[in-house]
Amino acid sequence: MSKRWPVSLVVNDGRTPRIVLRPLGRRDRAAWERLRRESAEYLARWEPTPPDGVGNRVTYSGYVRAMNDEARAGTTLPFAIEVDGHLAGQVHLFGITRGSLMSAAAGYWIGPEYAGQGLTTRALAEVCDYAFGPMGLHRVEVNVRPENAASLAVVAHVRMRDEGVRERYMHIEGRWCDHRTFALTVEELEGRRTISRWVESP
């Protein structure tokens, strides 16, 4: 069983720059809001949208509070990606289910200035290590739009198995979009110490 939230993880894969996965805090507000503004156009094609076109407006403090509540309840692990001391994006483990499934899904985003450097791959690998190790989960999946080349490269570097297409899986950009599901289970890691030292270099 993993330790209770808050949790911080240091990516010890022998590579640079240094990556720390940690909770968002009040001191991150200005950096997070700036990064989200600068990333808005870059991320618009991939982020979920409300089908009714309305959605709920949430303040930064409300967002952080909600994430922490879900983390303490054991359903989500919401990490900020910190690169050499700078906020670069986020990686979440969500939909955490125990019992007979012992599984979760992972999602991530990173600012455009940090894209294409293998940082998301390293962060995802570390989260999977934590999921299969201290958390004791059996399966982690990632769902990716088929046209999202950057995200497809991330799951390829982590060597996730392609499980096929989920049609009209998630609402994005005003329509229901297909996604491809990629996954890893504990059995696929036998003989390998950690995923973070197993990933292919970008």
How many Å separate Cα 119 from the centre of its chain? 12
Q: How far apart are CA 3 and CA 84, in angstroms?
A: 25
So what's the pLDDT on residue 125? Answer: 95
CA of 37: how far to CAs of 61, 90, 186, in Å? 17, 14, 38
So what's the pLDDT on residue 98? Answer: 97
> Residue 93 in contact with residue 106, Cβ under 8 Å?
yes
Amino acid at 19: I
Average pLDDT score over residue span 30-55: 90
Domains within the chain, CATH numbers bracketed: 9-189 (3.40.630.30)
So what's the pLDDT on residue 202? Answer: 46
154, pLDDT greater than 70 = yes
Q: How far apart are CA 123 and CA 22, in angstroms?
A: 11
So what's the pLDDT on residue 93? Answer: 98
62, pLDDT greater than 90 = yes
This model's pTM is above 0.85: yes
Token pair belonging to 142: 């990632």
